[in-house]
C-alpha cells in the first residue's frame, strides 16, 4: 500500500515538476475522502537548493528519509542530462528498489534513475528531446520515445512536464482504483487519462531535401502529396529504373519511398489540422490519404491519437471547429 512518499531534489530542480509531485501526493484532501500520504521533500545536496527559476527551496530532510518511503519521486532539473549525481543518492535509490519501494521520475529525472542502474533492461519514458541523450548515456535502457509514461515494475518514468501528472495519476489509479484517481483529477482540473502519447507533441517540421540524385524528386513529391504516387512514376521522373531509384532513395534518405511519403503526409495533415478549419475529409484528401478513415487509421497508428483529438489539443485561437 502506498502511504509514504518522498520527493528527492538536486540543485537546479524545476519547480513545475516538483509541484506536480507535491500536488498529487503532498496535499491533505481528507475532507474530500481522498488519500493522505506521509509526504516529505528531501534534499540530496544540502538543506538549501536553488531552483531553475532562481528561488531557493529549504528542507530539513536528508537522504535517510528515503529509507522509509514507499515511493521516491525524482522531479526534473537543470543540467540533469549531463551532470554527475551524488553516490549516496544513487545508493539510496537502489536500496529503495531492493526493499520493494517504487521510484518515479518526471522528465529529465530519469537520468538520475539511469545513473543508479535502474533502467538497465527496463522500458522507460523520457521527454522526446532527451531520448537520444538518454540512449547514449544508458544504452541498456529500452527507451519508449512516443509515450507519456511507462510503468515497468517498481520503476515508473514519465516524459516532459505535464506527463508527470499522467504518471502520478496512473499510480494513484493502480493503488486506490479509478474512482479515487478520477476524483483527484477533477480536483486538479486535469483529464484523468490523456489519449495518445507524446508522439503528437514532437516537433517535426517538414524537412528540406539535401540529396544528390533524388533531391529534385523529393521536392516534387512534397508539392504533390495529394496525388497517388508509385515508385515507377517517381523513378521515371528521376530518369532511373525503379530498382536503381529505390536503392538510391534508401541510401540518400535512410528510408523507403513509401515510408518517406507516409511521414510527409502525416506532417501535412498535422499542419492542416492545427492551422485551418477545413474538414477532416478535406485534410485527408489534401494530405494524400484520400479518405478520413484512412487518415484516422494512419494517425492512430503513428501518433496514438485521432485527427479530431489532435485538432482539439493543438487548435490555434480563432479557428472554429471543423465539421
The answer to whether the beta carbons of residues 78 and 44 sit under 8 Å apart is: no
Express as a percent the part of the chain with pLDDT over 90.
54
Predicted confidence (pLDDT) per residue in 20-46, tens digit? 999 999 999 999 999 999 999 999 998
**Domains of the chain by residue range:** 4-199, 215-314
pLDDT at residue number 196 = 58
4-199 matches 215-314 in fold: no
| Spatial distance between the Cα atoms of 137 and 85, rounded to a whole number of angstroms | 13
Closest-CA residue to 262 (of 301, 234, 233, 293): 301
Average pLDDT across the chain, whole number: 88
Give domain 215-314's CATH number out of 3.40.1830.10, 2.70.70.10, 1.10.10.60, 3.40.50.720. Answer: 1.10.10.60
42 forms beta bridges with 8, 61
pLDDT mean over 231-260: 87
pTM: predicted TM-score of the whole model, two decimal places: 0.67
Predicted confidence (pLDDT) per residue in 147-202, tens digit? 889 999 899 999 988 899 999 999 998 899 888 888 898 899 887 766 656 655 55
Predicted confidence (pLDDT) per residue in 43-58, tens digit? 999 899 999 999 999 9
b/e sequence 141-169, b meaning 16+ C-beta within 10 Å: bebbbbbbbbbbebbbbbbbebbbbbbbb
pLDDT mean over 119-124: 95
Read off the C-alpha cell for 63. Answer: 537522504
Question: For 4-199, CATH number?
Answer: 3.40.50.880
Predicted confidence (pLDDT) per residue in 64-97, tens digit? 999 999 999 999 998 888 899 999 999 999 999 9
Amino acid at each position: 500500500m502506498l502511504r509514504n512518499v518522498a520527493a528527492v531534489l538536486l540543485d537546479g530542480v524545476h519547480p513545475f515538476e516538483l509541484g506536480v509531485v507535491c500536488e498529487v501526493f503532498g496535499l491533505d484532501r481528507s475532507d474530500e475522502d481522498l488519500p493522505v500520504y506521509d509526504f516529505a521533500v528531501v534534499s540530496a545536496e544540502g538543506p538549501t537548493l536553488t531552483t531553475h527559476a532562481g528561488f531557493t527551496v529549504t528542507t530539513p530532510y536528508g537522504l535517510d528519509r528515503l529509507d522509509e518511503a514507499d515511493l521516491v519521486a525524482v522531479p526534473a532539473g537543470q543540467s540533469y542530462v549531463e551532470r554527475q549525481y551524488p553516490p549516496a543518492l544513487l545508493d539510496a535509490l537502489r536500496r529503495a528498489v531492493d526493499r520493494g519501494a517504487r521510484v518515479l521520475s518526471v522528465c529529465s529525472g530519469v537520468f538520475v534513475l539511469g545513473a543508479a542502474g535502474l533502467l538497465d533492461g527496463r522500458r522507460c519514458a523520457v521527454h522526446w528531446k532527451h531520448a537520444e541523450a538518454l540512449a547514449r548515456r544508458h544504452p541498456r535502457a529500452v527507451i519508449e520515445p512516443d509515450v507519456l509514461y511507462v510503468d515497468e515494475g517498481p520503476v515508473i518514468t514519465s516524459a516532459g512536464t505535464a506527463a508527470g501528472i499522467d504518471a502520478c495519476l496512473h499510480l494513484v489509479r493502480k493503488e486506490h482504483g479509478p474512482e479515487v484517481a478520477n476524483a483527484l483529477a477533477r480536483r486538479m482540473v486535469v483529464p484523468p487519462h490523456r489519449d495518445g502519447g507524446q508522439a503528437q507533441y514532437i516537433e517535426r517540421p517538414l524537412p528540406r531535401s539535401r540529396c544528390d540524385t533524388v533531391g529534385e524528386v523529393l521536392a516534387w513529391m512534397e508539392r504533390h502529396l495529394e496525388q497517388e504516387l508509385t515508385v515507377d512514376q517517381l523513378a521515371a521522373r528521376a530518369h532511373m529504373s525503379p530498382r536503381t531509384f529505390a536503392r538510391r532513395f534508401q541510401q540518400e534518405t535512410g528510408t523507403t519511398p513509401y515510408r518517406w511519403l507516409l511521414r510527409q503526409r502525416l506532417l501535412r495533415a498535422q499542419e492542416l489540422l492545427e492551422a485551418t478549419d477545413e474538414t477532416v475529409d478535406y485534410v485527408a484528401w489534401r494530405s494524400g490519404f484520400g479518405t478520413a478513415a484512412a487518415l484516422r487509421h494512419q494517425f492512430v497508428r503513428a501518433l496514438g491519437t485521432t485527427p479530431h483529438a489532435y485538432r482539439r489539443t493543438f487548435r490555434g485561437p480563432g479557428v472554429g471547429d471543423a465539421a
